[in-house]
Amino acid sequence: MPLALDLDSYARESERFVSEMDREYYLHFAGHKEEFEIEEIYERHAGLFDREVVERLRERVSSNGGEETRRARYLLELAVGGLLGRETKREETELAEREAALELEVGGERLPYRQSAVTQANEADPERRSAIEEARLDVLESELNPLHLRALERAHELARELGWSSYREMYGDLKQIDLAALERQTSAFLEATAGAYEATLEPHLRSQVGFGLDELRRSDLPYFFRARGFDDFFPQERLIEALEGTLGGLGIVLDEQQNVRLDTEQRPLKSPRAFCAPVHVPGEVYLVIPRHGGRDDYAALFHEAGHTEHYAHVNAALPFEFRHLGDNSVTEGFAFLFEHLTEDPAWLQAMLGVTGSEEYAGYARASKLLFLRRYAAKMSYELELHGGRPLSEMPDLYASLLGDAVAVDWPARTWLSDVDPGYYVANYLRAWAFETRLRNLLRERFGDEWFTQPEAGDLLREIWSEGQRLDADELLAQVTGERIDFAVMLEEI
Ligand SMILES: [Zn+2]
Protein backbone atom coordinates (compact mmCIF):
# COMPACT_ATOMS: atom_id res chain seq x y z
CA MET A 1 0.00 0.00 0.00
CA PRO A 2 1.39 3.45 -0.87
CA LEU A 3 2.42 5.51 2.12
CA ALA A 4 0.39 8.53 1.10
CA LEU A 5 -3.22 7.46 0.93
CA ASP A 6 -5.20 8.97 -1.91
CA LEU A 7 -8.61 9.51 -0.37
CA ASP A 8 -10.41 9.79 -3.71
CA SER A 9 -9.18 6.52 -5.15
CA TYR A 10 -9.66 4.76 -1.78
CA ALA A 11 -13.25 6.03 -1.72
CA ARG A 12 -13.84 4.83 -5.30
CA GLU A 13 -12.72 1.31 -4.51
CA SER A 14 -14.67 1.32 -1.23
CA GLU A 15 -17.78 2.15 -3.19
CA ARG A 16 -17.19 -0.78 -5.54
CA PHE A 17 -16.77 -3.08 -2.53
CA VAL A 18 -19.92 -1.85 -0.76
CA SER A 19 -21.89 -2.03 -3.98
CA GLU A 20 -20.82 -5.62 -4.70
CA MET A 21 -21.67 -6.64 -1.12
CA ASP A 22 -25.11 -5.03 -1.29
CA ARG A 23 -25.80 -6.63 -4.67
CA GLU A 24 -24.83 -10.07 -3.33
CA TYR A 25 -27.05 -9.48 -0.29
CA TYR A 26 -29.95 -8.46 -2.53
CA LEU A 27 -29.57 -11.43 -4.91
CA HIS A 28 -29.35 -13.97 -2.09
CA PHE A 29 -32.09 -12.69 0.20
CA ALA A 30 -34.51 -11.83 -2.59
CA GLY A 31 -34.17 -15.47 -3.65
CA HIS A 32 -32.42 -14.95 -7.01
CA LYS A 33 -29.52 -17.21 -6.01
CA GLU A 34 -28.93 -19.80 -3.36
CA GLU A 35 -25.27 -19.05 -2.65
CA PHE A 36 -24.09 -16.09 -0.59
CA GLU A 37 -20.63 -15.49 -1.98
CA ILE A 38 -19.07 -12.69 0.03
CA GLU A 39 -15.66 -14.30 0.47
CA GLU A 40 -14.71 -13.58 -3.15
CA ILE A 41 -15.75 -9.97 -2.71
CA TYR A 42 -13.48 -9.57 0.31
CA GLU A 43 -10.67 -11.22 -1.66
CA ARG A 44 -11.12 -8.90 -4.64
CA HIS A 45 -10.82 -5.84 -2.40
CA ALA A 46 -8.39 -7.17 0.21
CA GLY A 47 -6.23 -4.04 -0.08
CA LEU A 48 -9.01 -1.89 1.36
CA PHE A 49 -8.76 -3.49 4.77
CA ASP A 50 -5.06 -3.58 5.25
CA ARG A 51 -3.89 -2.59 8.75
CA GLU A 52 -1.56 -0.13 7.09
CA VAL A 53 -4.58 1.56 5.51
CA VAL A 54 -6.37 1.73 8.84
CA GLU A 55 -3.30 3.47 10.27
CA ARG A 56 -3.18 5.99 7.41
CA LEU A 57 -6.86 6.77 7.76
CA ARG A 58 -6.46 7.27 11.50
CA GLU A 59 -3.71 9.78 10.87
CA ARG A 60 -6.01 11.64 8.49
CA VAL A 61 -8.78 11.67 11.07
CA SER A 62 -6.60 13.10 13.79
CA SER A 63 -5.26 15.83 11.49
CA ASN A 64 -6.70 19.29 10.81
CA GLY A 65 -10.49 18.83 10.79
CA GLY A 66 -12.95 20.00 8.15
CA GLU A 67 -14.57 18.00 5.34
CA GLU A 68 -11.45 15.93 4.57
CA THR A 69 -11.35 14.68 8.15
CA ARG A 70 -15.02 13.90 8.08
CA ARG A 71 -14.62 11.88 4.88
CA ALA A 72 -11.62 10.03 6.33
CA ARG A 73 -13.57 9.23 9.50
CA TYR A 74 -16.45 7.65 7.59
CA LEU A 75 -14.00 5.66 5.48
CA LEU A 76 -12.14 4.60 8.63
CA GLU A 77 -15.30 3.13 10.15
CA LEU A 78 -15.86 1.18 6.93
CA ALA A 79 -12.22 0.01 6.88
CA VAL A 80 -12.29 -1.19 10.50
CA GLY A 81 -15.65 -2.91 9.98
CA GLY A 82 -14.27 -4.55 6.84
CA LEU A 83 -11.12 -5.67 8.65
CA LEU A 84 -13.20 -7.23 11.44
CA GLY A 85 -15.51 -8.79 8.85
CA ARG A 86 -12.62 -10.26 6.93
CA GLU A 87 -10.98 -11.72 10.03
CA THR A 88 -14.21 -13.31 11.28
CA LYS A 89 -15.73 -14.26 7.93
CA ARG A 90 -15.07 -17.96 8.54
CA GLU A 91 -17.20 -17.89 11.71
CA GLU A 92 -19.85 -15.73 10.04
CA THR A 93 -20.12 -18.02 7.02
CA GLU A 94 -20.32 -21.09 9.23
CA LEU A 95 -22.98 -19.42 11.39
CA ALA A 96 -25.08 -18.59 8.33
CA GLU A 97 -24.71 -22.06 6.87
CA ARG A 98 -25.50 -23.85 10.14
CA GLU A 99 -28.48 -21.58 10.82
CA ALA A 100 -29.81 -22.35 7.35
CA ALA A 101 -29.40 -26.11 7.81
CA LEU A 102 -30.41 -26.63 11.46
CA GLU A 103 -33.76 -28.08 12.44
CA LEU A 104 -35.56 -28.14 15.76
CA GLU A 105 -37.63 -30.96 17.03
CA VAL A 106 -40.77 -29.82 18.82
CA GLY A 107 -43.36 -32.35 19.97
CA GLY A 108 -42.32 -34.85 17.31
CA GLU A 109 -42.42 -32.25 14.54
CA ARG A 110 -39.40 -30.90 12.70
CA LEU A 111 -39.04 -27.16 12.25
CA PRO A 112 -36.31 -25.27 10.35
CA TYR A 113 -34.29 -23.13 12.79
CA ARG A 114 -34.77 -19.87 10.87
CA GLN A 115 -38.47 -20.47 10.35
CA SER A 116 -39.06 -21.23 14.04
CA ALA A 117 -39.30 -17.58 15.14
CA VAL A 118 -42.07 -16.93 12.61
CA THR A 119 -43.92 -20.09 13.63
CA GLN A 120 -43.60 -19.11 17.30
CA ALA A 121 -44.96 -15.60 16.66
CA ASN A 122 -48.05 -17.07 15.00
CA GLU A 123 -48.61 -19.87 17.53
CA ALA A 124 -51.70 -19.35 19.69
CA ASP A 125 -50.84 -22.03 22.27
CA PRO A 126 -48.48 -20.64 24.96
CA GLU A 127 -47.13 -24.09 25.84
CA ARG A 128 -46.13 -24.74 22.26
CA ARG A 129 -44.56 -21.27 22.00
CA SER A 130 -42.48 -22.09 25.05
CA ALA A 131 -41.50 -25.50 23.63
CA ILE A 132 -40.37 -23.91 20.34
CA GLU A 133 -38.31 -21.31 22.17
CA GLU A 134 -36.69 -23.89 24.46
CA ALA A 135 -35.75 -26.07 21.50
CA ARG A 136 -34.28 -23.06 19.69
CA LEU A 137 -32.29 -21.95 22.74
CA ASP A 138 -30.85 -25.47 23.16
CA VAL A 139 -29.65 -25.50 19.57
CA LEU A 140 -28.33 -21.94 19.87
CA GLU A 141 -26.31 -22.87 22.93
CA SER A 142 -24.81 -26.08 21.57
CA GLU A 143 -24.41 -25.34 17.84
CA LEU A 144 -24.10 -21.58 17.39
CA ASN A 145 -22.84 -19.93 20.58
CA PRO A 146 -19.32 -21.39 20.27
CA LEU A 147 -19.02 -19.68 16.87
CA HIS A 148 -20.55 -16.41 18.14
CA LEU A 149 -18.08 -16.45 21.03
CA ARG A 150 -15.08 -17.04 18.79
CA ALA A 151 -16.09 -14.16 16.52
CA LEU A 152 -16.59 -11.84 19.49
CA GLU A 153 -13.26 -12.72 21.09
CA ARG A 154 -11.50 -12.15 17.78
CA ALA A 155 -13.18 -8.75 17.38
CA HIS A 156 -12.16 -7.71 20.91
CA GLU A 157 -8.59 -8.85 20.24
CA LEU A 158 -8.42 -6.94 16.97
CA ALA A 159 -9.57 -3.71 18.62
CA ARG A 160 -6.62 -3.99 21.00
CA GLU A 161 -4.21 -4.96 18.24
CA LEU A 162 -5.24 -1.82 16.38
CA GLY A 163 -4.24 0.24 19.42
CA TRP A 164 -7.53 0.95 21.16
CA SER A 165 -7.96 -0.09 24.80
CA SER A 166 -11.20 -1.95 24.04
CA TYR A 167 -13.83 -2.59 21.37
CA ARG A 168 -16.01 -0.11 23.22
CA GLU A 169 -13.41 2.63 23.07
CA MET A 170 -12.81 1.86 19.40
CA TYR A 171 -16.44 2.24 18.38
CA GLY A 172 -16.96 5.32 20.53
CA ASP A 173 -14.08 6.81 18.57
CA LEU A 174 -15.13 5.60 15.12
CA LYS A 175 -18.75 6.65 15.50
CA GLN A 176 -17.97 9.82 17.46
CA ILE A 177 -20.83 8.96 19.77
CA ASP A 178 -20.43 9.43 23.51
CA LEU A 179 -21.68 5.94 24.39
CA ALA A 180 -21.51 6.51 28.16
CA ALA A 181 -23.57 9.70 27.90
CA LEU A 182 -26.16 7.92 25.76
CA GLU A 183 -26.31 5.13 28.34
CA ARG A 184 -26.96 7.70 31.09
CA GLN A 185 -29.93 8.95 29.08
CA THR A 186 -31.33 5.48 28.44
CA SER A 187 -30.84 4.47 32.09
CA ALA A 188 -32.73 7.59 33.13
CA PHE A 189 -35.50 6.54 30.72
CA LEU A 190 -35.65 3.10 32.36
CA GLU A 191 -35.98 4.71 35.77
CA ALA A 192 -38.57 7.26 34.68
CA THR A 193 -40.82 4.64 33.04
CA ALA A 194 -40.43 1.88 35.66
CA GLY A 195 -43.52 2.98 37.57
CA ALA A 196 -45.88 3.16 34.60
CA TYR A 197 -44.55 0.14 32.69
CA GLU A 198 -46.73 -2.61 34.12
CA ALA A 199 -49.97 -0.63 34.07
CA THR A 200 -49.31 0.48 30.47
CA LEU A 201 -48.63 -3.04 29.27
CA GLU A 202 -51.10 -5.10 31.27
CA PRO A 203 -54.41 -4.42 29.45
CA HIS A 204 -52.84 -4.96 26.02
CA LEU A 205 -51.16 -8.18 27.09
CA ARG A 206 -54.52 -9.42 28.32
CA SER A 207 -56.30 -8.60 25.08
CA GLN A 208 -53.57 -9.80 22.66
CA VAL A 209 -52.00 -12.70 24.57
CA GLY A 210 -54.82 -13.64 26.96
CA PHE A 211 -53.02 -13.15 30.27
CA GLY A 212 -50.98 -10.57 32.16
CA LEU A 213 -47.40 -9.97 33.27
CA ASP A 214 -47.60 -12.38 36.21
CA GLU A 215 -47.95 -15.32 33.81
CA LEU A 216 -46.02 -13.89 30.87
CA ARG A 217 -42.95 -15.74 29.60
CA ARG A 218 -40.34 -14.44 27.21
CA SER A 219 -41.60 -16.93 24.64
CA ASP A 220 -44.94 -15.05 24.55
CA LEU A 221 -43.41 -11.75 23.43
CA PRO A 222 -43.20 -12.52 19.67
CA TYR A 223 -46.90 -13.39 19.74
CA PHE A 224 -47.63 -10.10 21.51
CA PHE A 225 -45.67 -8.16 18.88
CA ARG A 226 -47.37 -10.10 16.10
CA ALA A 227 -50.76 -8.94 17.50
CA ARG A 228 -52.99 -10.96 15.20
CA GLY A 229 -56.02 -9.26 16.76
CA PHE A 230 -55.32 -6.22 14.56
CA ASP A 231 -54.78 -8.04 11.25
CA ASP A 232 -58.10 -6.81 9.88
CA PHE A 233 -56.74 -3.26 9.82
CA PHE A 234 -53.89 -4.32 7.54
CA PRO A 235 -55.08 -6.35 4.54
CA GLN A 236 -52.46 -7.95 2.35
CA GLU A 237 -53.96 -6.71 -0.90
CA ARG A 238 -53.65 -3.07 0.14
CA LEU A 239 -50.03 -3.15 1.24
CA ILE A 240 -48.47 -1.69 -1.92
CA GLU A 241 -51.38 0.63 -2.58
CA ALA A 242 -50.96 2.08 0.92
CA LEU A 243 -47.28 2.72 0.26
CA GLU A 244 -47.97 4.31 -3.14
CA GLY A 245 -50.69 6.46 -1.59
CA THR A 246 -48.45 7.65 1.21
CA LEU A 247 -45.56 8.51 -1.09
CA GLY A 248 -47.99 10.11 -3.54
CA GLY A 249 -49.24 12.40 -0.77
CA LEU A 250 -45.67 13.58 -0.30
CA GLY A 251 -45.30 14.23 -4.03
CA ILE A 252 -43.33 11.05 -4.82
CA VAL A 253 -44.59 8.85 -7.65
CA LEU A 254 -43.19 5.42 -6.84
CA ASP A 255 -43.94 4.07 -10.33
CA GLU A 256 -41.87 6.79 -11.95
CA GLN A 257 -38.78 6.50 -9.75
CA GLN A 258 -36.30 5.00 -12.21
CA ASN A 259 -33.71 4.43 -9.49
CA VAL A 260 -36.07 2.56 -7.14
CA ARG A 261 -36.41 -1.08 -8.17
CA LEU A 262 -39.40 -2.79 -6.62
CA ASP A 263 -39.03 -6.52 -6.16
CA THR A 264 -42.54 -7.92 -5.81
CA GLU A 265 -42.21 -11.30 -7.49
CA GLN A 266 -42.64 -14.45 -5.39
CA ARG A 267 -39.67 -16.82 -5.20
CA PRO A 268 -39.23 -19.91 -3.02
CA LEU A 269 -36.00 -18.65 -1.43
CA LYS A 270 -37.12 -15.06 -0.98
CA SER A 271 -36.87 -13.64 2.54
CA PRO A 272 -40.31 -13.28 4.17
CA ARG A 273 -39.30 -9.83 5.48
CA ALA A 274 -39.13 -6.60 3.51
CA PHE A 275 -35.66 -5.13 3.05
CA CYS A 276 -33.84 -2.35 1.24
CA ALA A 277 -30.58 -2.89 -0.65
CA PRO A 278 -28.84 0.39 -1.62
CA VAL A 279 -26.63 -1.16 -4.30
CA HIS A 280 -25.74 2.23 -5.73
CA VAL A 281 -26.80 5.47 -4.02
CA PRO A 282 -28.84 7.12 -5.42
CA GLY A 283 -28.93 5.30 -8.79
CA GLU A 284 -29.92 1.73 -7.92
CA VAL A 285 -31.88 1.08 -4.74
CA TYR A 286 -33.92 -2.12 -4.29
CA LEU A 287 -37.03 -2.37 -2.16
CA VAL A 288 -37.99 -5.98 -1.62
CA ILE A 289 -41.67 -6.40 -0.82
CA PRO A 290 -42.97 -9.18 1.45
CA ARG A 291 -45.76 -11.63 0.69
CA HIS A 292 -48.08 -11.23 3.63
CA GLY A 293 -50.21 -8.64 5.31
CA GLY A 294 -50.74 -7.97 9.01
CA ARG A 295 -49.37 -5.17 11.13
CA ASP A 296 -45.79 -6.35 11.25
CA ASP A 297 -45.48 -6.65 7.45
CA TYR A 298 -46.86 -3.15 7.02
CA ALA A 299 -44.48 -1.83 9.67
CA ALA A 300 -41.50 -3.64 8.09
CA LEU A 301 -42.32 -2.49 4.54
CA PHE A 302 -42.74 1.13 5.59
CA HIS A 303 -39.51 0.99 7.60
CA GLU A 304 -37.62 -0.25 4.54
CA ALA A 305 -39.40 2.26 2.30
CA GLY A 306 -38.05 5.01 4.59
CA HIS A 307 -34.50 3.78 3.92
CA THR A 308 -35.26 3.44 0.21
CA GLU A 309 -36.58 6.98 -0.27
CA HIS A 310 -33.76 8.43 1.81
CA TYR A 311 -31.11 6.74 -0.37
CA ALA A 312 -33.01 7.35 -3.61
CA HIS A 313 -33.06 11.13 -3.02
CA VAL A 314 -29.41 11.64 -2.13
CA ASN A 315 -27.59 14.18 -4.28
CA ALA A 316 -25.58 12.14 -6.80
CA ALA A 317 -22.80 14.76 -6.85
CA LEU A 318 -21.77 14.13 -3.22
CA PRO A 319 -18.73 11.93 -2.54
CA PHE A 320 -19.45 8.27 -1.79
CA GLU A 321 -18.75 8.70 1.95
CA PHE A 322 -21.61 11.21 2.27
CA ARG A 323 -24.01 9.37 -0.03
CA HIS A 324 -23.62 5.96 1.55
CA LEU A 325 -21.60 6.02 4.79
CA GLY A 326 -21.75 8.17 7.93
CA ASP A 327 -24.10 8.06 10.92
CA ASN A 328 -26.77 5.41 10.33
CA SER A 329 -28.90 7.01 13.05
CA VAL A 330 -29.98 9.29 10.19
CA THR A 331 -31.26 6.66 7.75
CA GLU A 332 -32.79 4.66 10.63
CA GLY A 333 -34.58 7.86 11.68
CA PHE A 334 -36.29 8.14 8.28
CA ALA A 335 -37.09 4.42 8.41
CA PHE A 336 -38.81 4.91 11.79
CA LEU A 337 -40.63 7.99 10.49
CA PHE A 338 -42.34 5.85 7.83
CA GLU A 339 -42.73 2.81 10.07
CA HIS A 340 -44.51 4.84 12.74
CA LEU A 341 -47.06 6.07 10.22
CA THR A 342 -48.57 2.58 10.31
CA GLU A 343 -49.59 3.12 13.93
CA ASP A 344 -50.74 6.72 13.53
CA PRO A 345 -54.57 7.01 13.81
CA ALA A 346 -54.62 9.87 11.23
CA TRP A 347 -52.71 7.72 8.72
CA LEU A 348 -54.80 4.60 9.42
CA GLN A 349 -57.95 6.57 8.69
CA ALA A 350 -56.62 8.37 5.62
CA MET A 351 -54.89 5.41 3.92
CA LEU A 352 -56.77 2.33 5.11
CA GLY A 353 -60.12 3.79 6.13
CA VAL A 354 -59.66 2.46 9.67
CA THR A 355 -61.74 4.27 12.26
CA GLY A 356 -61.80 3.66 16.00
CA SER A 357 -58.11 2.80 16.16
CA GLU A 358 -57.69 4.15 19.72
CA GLU A 359 -57.15 0.68 21.11
CA TYR A 360 -54.57 0.05 18.44
CA ALA A 361 -52.81 3.30 19.30
CA GLY A 362 -52.72 2.21 22.95
CA TYR A 363 -51.35 -1.17 21.97
CA ALA A 364 -48.69 0.45 19.77
CA ARG A 365 -47.64 2.72 22.66
CA ALA A 366 -47.39 -0.24 25.06
CA SER A 367 -45.35 -2.36 22.67
CA LYS A 368 -43.10 0.60 21.92
CA LEU A 369 -42.47 1.10 25.64
CA LEU A 370 -41.50 -2.54 25.98
CA PHE A 371 -39.23 -2.28 22.96
CA LEU A 372 -37.53 0.92 24.14
CA ARG A 373 -36.95 -0.51 27.62
CA ARG A 374 -35.43 -3.61 26.04
CA TYR A 375 -33.08 -1.51 23.91
CA ALA A 376 -32.18 0.74 26.84
CA ALA A 377 -31.17 -2.37 28.80
CA LYS A 378 -29.22 -3.64 25.79
CA MET A 379 -27.29 -0.37 25.72
CA SER A 380 -26.21 -0.82 29.37
CA TYR A 381 -25.33 -4.44 28.69
CA GLU A 382 -23.28 -3.78 25.56
CA LEU A 383 -21.20 -1.13 27.34
CA GLU A 384 -20.14 -3.86 29.78
CA LEU A 385 -19.85 -6.59 27.15
CA HIS A 386 -17.34 -4.65 25.06
CA GLY A 387 -15.70 -2.70 27.86
CA GLY A 388 -13.07 -5.19 28.99
CA ARG A 389 -14.81 -7.11 31.81
CA PRO A 390 -14.44 -10.93 31.79
CA LEU A 391 -16.86 -12.47 29.31
CA SER A 392 -17.71 -15.20 31.81
CA GLU A 393 -19.74 -12.63 33.78
CA MET A 394 -21.80 -11.61 30.78
CA PRO A 395 -24.56 -14.24 30.45
CA ASP A 396 -25.83 -13.53 33.99
CA LEU A 397 -25.47 -9.78 33.63
CA TYR A 398 -27.38 -9.89 30.32
CA ALA A 399 -30.23 -11.95 31.78
CA SER A 400 -30.61 -9.69 34.82
CA LEU A 401 -30.50 -6.36 32.92
CA LEU A 402 -32.98 -7.50 30.26
CA GLY A 403 -35.18 -9.33 32.76
CA ASP A 404 -35.44 -6.26 35.02
CA ALA A 405 -36.26 -3.92 32.14
CA VAL A 406 -38.96 -6.11 30.60
CA ALA A 407 -40.22 -7.76 33.83
CA VAL A 408 -40.04 -11.35 32.60
CA ASP A 409 -37.49 -14.12 33.21
CA TRP A 410 -34.98 -13.54 30.45
CA PRO A 411 -32.85 -16.37 29.01
CA ALA A 412 -29.10 -15.92 29.41
CA ARG A 413 -28.40 -18.04 26.35
CA THR A 414 -29.03 -15.21 23.85
CA TRP A 415 -26.23 -13.11 25.43
CA LEU A 416 -24.25 -13.26 22.15
CA SER A 417 -26.83 -13.57 19.39
CA ASP A 418 -28.87 -10.60 20.67
CA VAL A 419 -25.99 -8.20 19.94
CA ASP A 420 -25.60 -6.27 16.67
CA PRO A 421 -21.99 -5.54 15.73
CA GLY A 422 -20.41 -2.11 16.02
CA TYR A 423 -22.83 -0.71 18.64
CA TYR A 424 -25.67 -0.48 16.16
CA VAL A 425 -27.88 -0.39 19.27
CA ALA A 426 -26.72 3.23 19.70
CA ASN A 427 -27.85 4.07 16.15
CA TYR A 428 -31.34 2.75 16.83
CA LEU A 429 -31.64 4.61 20.14
CA ARG A 430 -30.47 7.86 18.59
CA ALA A 431 -32.71 7.31 15.58
CA TRP A 432 -35.80 6.99 17.80
CA ALA A 433 -35.01 10.30 19.49
CA PHE A 434 -34.19 11.98 16.16
CA GLU A 435 -37.38 10.72 14.54
CA THR A 436 -39.59 11.87 17.42
CA ARG A 437 -38.30 15.44 17.02
CA LEU A 438 -38.58 15.34 13.24
CA ARG A 439 -42.16 13.98 13.38
CA ASN A 440 -43.12 16.70 15.87
CA LEU A 441 -41.77 19.30 13.47
CA LEU A 442 -43.70 17.84 10.52
CA ARG A 443 -46.90 17.85 12.58
CA GLU A 444 -46.40 21.41 13.76
CA ARG A 445 -45.70 22.70 10.27
CA PHE A 446 -48.02 20.60 8.14
CA GLY A 447 -50.65 19.25 10.52
CA ASP A 448 -51.58 15.75 11.70
CA GLU A 449 -51.96 14.67 8.09
CA TRP A 450 -48.48 15.91 7.14
CA PHE A 451 -48.07 12.81 4.96
CA THR A 452 -50.69 14.21 2.56
CA GLN A 453 -48.84 17.51 2.07
CA PRO A 454 -46.43 17.82 -0.88
CA GLU A 455 -44.67 20.64 1.04
CA ALA A 456 -43.79 18.12 3.76
CA GLY A 457 -42.34 15.99 0.96
CA ASP A 458 -40.32 18.99 -0.26
CA LEU A 459 -38.80 19.40 3.19
CA LEU A 460 -37.97 15.68 3.44
CA ARG A 461 -36.45 15.65 -0.05
CA GLU A 462 -34.27 18.60 0.86
CA ILE A 463 -33.00 16.81 3.98
CA TRP A 464 -32.59 13.49 2.14
CA SER A 465 -30.48 15.09 -0.58
CA GLU A 466 -27.65 15.58 1.94
CA GLY A 467 -27.28 11.85 2.51
CA GLN A 468 -25.44 11.24 5.77
CA ARG A 469 -22.86 13.99 5.43
CA LEU A 470 -24.12 15.39 8.73
CA ASP A 471 -24.64 13.10 11.70
CA ALA A 472 -28.01 12.92 13.43
CA ASP A 473 -27.05 15.59 16.01
CA GLU A 474 -25.90 18.07 13.38
CA LEU A 475 -28.86 17.36 11.15
CA LEU A 476 -31.37 17.81 13.95
CA ALA A 477 -29.68 21.04 15.03
CA GLN A 478 -29.94 22.28 11.46
CA VAL A 479 -33.57 21.28 10.97
CA THR A 480 -35.17 22.00 14.36
CA GLY A 481 -32.40 23.65 16.40
CA GLU A 482 -32.65 20.85 18.99
CA ARG A 483 -30.20 18.30 20.40
CA ILE A 484 -30.63 14.55 20.44
CA ASP A 485 -31.76 13.57 23.90
CA PHE A 486 -33.38 10.25 24.64
CA ALA A 487 -35.53 12.00 27.28
CA VAL A 488 -37.78 13.07 24.39
CA MET A 489 -39.01 9.46 24.26
CA LEU A 490 -40.86 10.05 27.52
CA GLU A 491 -43.31 12.22 25.56
CA GLU A 492 -44.11 9.22 23.36
CA ILE A 493 -45.22 6.98 26.17
ZN1 LIG B 1 -33.56 0.03 9.45
Q: Rounded to the nearest whole angstrom, what is the distance from the C-alpha of residue 427 to the centroid of ligand 1?
A: 10
**Structure confidence by residue, pLDDT tens digits, 78-130:** 999 999 999 998 898 888 888 888 999 999 999 988 788 888 999 999 999 99
User: What pLDDT was estimated at residue 167?
Assistant: 98
Q: Rounded to the nearest whole angstrom, what is the distance from the C-alpha of residue 5 to the centroid of ligand 1?
A: 32
User: Which of 29-33, 153-157, 172-176 shows the lowest per-residue confidence on average (mean pLDDT)?
Assistant: 29-33
Spatial strand order in the sheet of 275-280: 260-263, 284-288, 275-280
**Structure confidence by residue, pLDDT tens digits, 428-478:** 999 999 999 999 999 999 999 999 999 999 999 999 999 999 999 999 999
Q: Does the pLDDT value for residue 293 go beyond 70?
A: no
Structural contact between residues 319 and 287, judged by C-beta atoms closer than 8 angstroms: no
DSSP string across 305-317:
HHHHHHHHTS-TT
Q: What does pLDDT average to over the chain?
A: 94
Structural contact between residues 209 and 216, judged by C-beta atoms closer than 8 angstroms: yes
Q: Does the pLDDT value for residue 1 go beyond 50?
A: no
Q: Rounded to the nearest whole angstrom, what is the distance from the C-alpha of residue 428 to the centroid of ligand 1?
A: 8
Band the pLDDT of 15: cuts 50, 70, 90.
very high
Q: Rounded to the nearest whole angstrom, what is the distance from the C-alpha of residue 312 to the centroid of ligand 1?
A: 15
User: What pLDDT was estimated at residue 281?
Assistant: 98
Q: Exposed, middle or buried by CB within 10 Å (0-12, 13-18, 19+), for 370? A: buried
User: What pLDDT was estimated at residue 275?
Assistant: 94
**Structure confidence by residue, pLDDT tens digits, 345-376:** 999 999 999 998 889 999 999 999 999 999 99
Q: Which pTM was predicted?
A: 0.95
Band the pLDDT of 292: cuts 50, 70, 90.
low
Q: Does the pLDDT value for residue 4 go beyond 70?
A: no
Q: Rounded to the nearest whole angstrom, what is the distance from the C-alpha of residue 332 to the centroid of ligand 1?
A: 5
Q: Rounded to the nearest whole angstrom, what is the distance from the C-alpha of residue 373 to the centroid of ligand 1?
A: 18
Q: How many CB atoms lie within 10 A of CB 199?
A: 10
Whole-number Å distance between alpha carbons of 342 and 340: 5
What percentage of the chain exceeds 90 in pLDDT? 82
Contacts of 53 (CB under 8 A, 6+ apart): 1, 5, 10, 47, 79
Q: Rounded to the nearest whole angstrom, what is the distance from the C-alpha of residue 114 to the centroid of ligand 1?
A: 20
Which of the pair, 443 or 38, is modelled with greater confidence? 443
Q: Rounded to the nearest whole angstrom, what is the distance from the C-alpha of residue 336 to the centroid of ligand 1?
A: 8
User: What pLDDT was estimated at residue 2?
Assistant: 47
User: What pLDDT was estimated at residue 356?
Assistant: 84
Whole-number Å distance between alpha carbons of 35 and 208: 39
**Structure confidence by residue, pLDDT tens digits, 182-212:** 999 999 999 999 999 999 999 999 999 999 9
Q: Rounded to the nearest whole angstrom, what is the distance from the C-alpha of residue 214 to the centroid of ligand 1?
A: 33
Whole-number Å distance between alpha carbons of 169 and 331: 24
**Structure confidence by residue, pLDDT tens digits, 46-71:** 999 989 999 999 998 887 778 889 99
**Structure confidence by residue, pLDDT tens digits, 300-355:** 999 999 999 999 999 999 999 999 999 999 999 999 999 999 999 999 999 999 99
Structural contact between residues 319 and 355, judged by C-beta atoms closer than 8 angstroms: no
Whole-number Å distance between alpha carbons of 397 and 374: 14
Q: Does the pLDDT value for residue 274 go beyond 90?
A: no
What percentage of the chain exceeds 70 in pLDDT? 98
